[in-house]
């Protein structure tokens, strides 16, 4: 496994992380590209029922918001946030094919040195360790090259797959945010989880490998 960070850019972004082999295939994580438009739109529009119940409500029509022509604007925004050091946006690849996204947002430096992490994967990648591997790669990167100290993840209590991912990676539950986000037409409670660098001195990927859940490629 390796990562590379071009000189002269914001610490930790852009970067390419992995590869890491899990039962579903070889997982890599990289910065979004403009040419991701078709694959991104195909997965998002196909998996509306799978995704819409867990994501913050966005004005407009799902198919329009996730059409191929909608990606350039989103990509430009993500790239801008990454270049300004406000976010670390990544896409997930499985055997070289687009499978989802991991985003580290609201990056705050100084005494806090914290951010949140969110992720989604398409229905074709919801089993076999893909999300777990991708999040592990990004968390290790955040605590390493990106220089962060704490990461938070908020998940609806009904979202059992995401809860399992965070549980496998050792995120600790810190409480419930009442009526935290507008999701699927209502203000939904979210459970807050967190990790700090002290919690994983050897990294999450090392733990997955040691536990036989992943293999370095």
Indicate the pTM of the whole model.
0.94
Yes or no: domain 2-216 corresponds to CATH 3.40.630.30: yes
Provide the pLDDT for residue 7. Answer: 42
Domain-wise residue ranges, the chain: 2-216
Of 87 and 184, the structure prediction assigns the larger pLDDT to: 87
| Number of neighbouring beta carbons within 10 Å of residue 96 | 10
Provide the pLDDT for residue 2. Answer: 41
Model confidence over 13-67: pLDDT tens digits? Answer: 999 999 999 999 999 999 999 999 999 999 999 999 999 999 999 999 999 999 9
Model confidence over 130-176: pLDDT tens digits? Answer: 999 999 999 999 999 999 999 999 999 999 999 999 999 999 999 99
């Amino acid at each position: 496994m390796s990562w590379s960070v071009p000189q002269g850019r914001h610490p930790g972004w852009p970067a390419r992380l992995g590869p890491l082999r899990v039962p579903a295939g070889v997982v890599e994580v990289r910065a979004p590209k403009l040419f991701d438009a078709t694959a991104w739109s195909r997965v998002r529009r196909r998996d509306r029922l799978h995704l819409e119940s867990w994501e913050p409500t966005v004005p407009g029509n799902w198919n329009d918001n996730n059409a191929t022509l909608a990606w350039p604007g989103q990509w430009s925004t993500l790239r801008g946030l990454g270049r300004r050091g406000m976010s670390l946006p990544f896409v997930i690849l499985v055997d070289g094919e687009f499978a989802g996204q991991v985003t580290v947002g609201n990056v705050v430096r100084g005494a806090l040195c914290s951010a949140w992490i969110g992720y989604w994967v398409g229905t074709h990648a919801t089993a076999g360790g893909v999300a777990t591997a991708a999040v592990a790669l990004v968390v290790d990167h955040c605590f390493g090259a990106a220089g962060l100290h704490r990461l938070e993840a908020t998940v609806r209590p009904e979202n059992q797959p995401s809860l399992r991912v965070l549980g496998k990676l050792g995120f600790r539950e810190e409480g419930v945010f009442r009526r935290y986000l507008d999701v699927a037409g209502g203000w939904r409670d979210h459970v807050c989880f967190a990790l700090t660098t002290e919690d994983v001195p050897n990294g999450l990927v090392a733990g997955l490998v040691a536990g036989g859940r992943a293999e370095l490629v």
